[in-house]
Amino acid sequence: MSTGDKLRLVIVTPERTLLDEPASALRFPLYDGDIGILPGRLPLIGRLGCGELKVTNSTGHRSFFVDGGFVQVLGSTISLLTHRAVPVENLVVADAEKQLAAADGRVARTDDEVKAKLADQQRARRMLHLAKASH
């Protein structure tokens, strides 16, 4: 499948368009698990989870940490709308550890608080995992 990059990946954050480049395959987390995108994917609108976005193009792999948002696949264009997308090289282990500790230490009383706590814990764990893997 190395016949050029047939997909176009656009990552948009509220502040700016972070990335607009060709890709040949993608993998990123949806709300309930990872999804892979290859050229020829049918149109899709989905909710993102948090975790690793892996971009494969003709020059190799790149990874980002994405933190929630939405995805739209239309034709060969994949638009990711996310609050935050950080290249994994820029993730700092200590920061992720701090966030995890903060989430762990929080006392949750109501259902909503428990849900938020679990989500934060999960996000921090994934971030930590990615940060460690990249260093």
Which spans of this chain sit near other proteins (rule: CB under 8 A)? Answer: 12-17, 30-32, 35, 42-47, 69-70, 72, 74, 79, 81, 83
Contacts of 1 (CB under 8 A, 6+ apart): 24, 25, 38
**Shortest distance (Å) from residue 133 CB to other proteins:** 25
**Shortest distance (Å) from residue 26 CB to other proteins:** 15
CB nearer other proteins, residue 117 or residue 129: 117
Backbone angles phi, psi at 134, to 5 degrees: -85, -15
Helices vs. strands in the chain: H and E counts, helices first: 2, 8
**Shortest distance (Å) from residue 19 CB to other proteins:** 12
CB nearer other proteins, residue 37 or residue 129: 37
**Shortest distance (Å) from residue 60 CB to other proteins:** 27
CB nearer other proteins, residue 81 or residue 108: 81
Cross-strand partners of 26: 37, 55
CB nearer other proteins, residue 13 or residue 121: 13
Distance CA 39, CA 66 (A): 21
Backbone angles phi, psi at 13, to 5 degrees: -110, 165
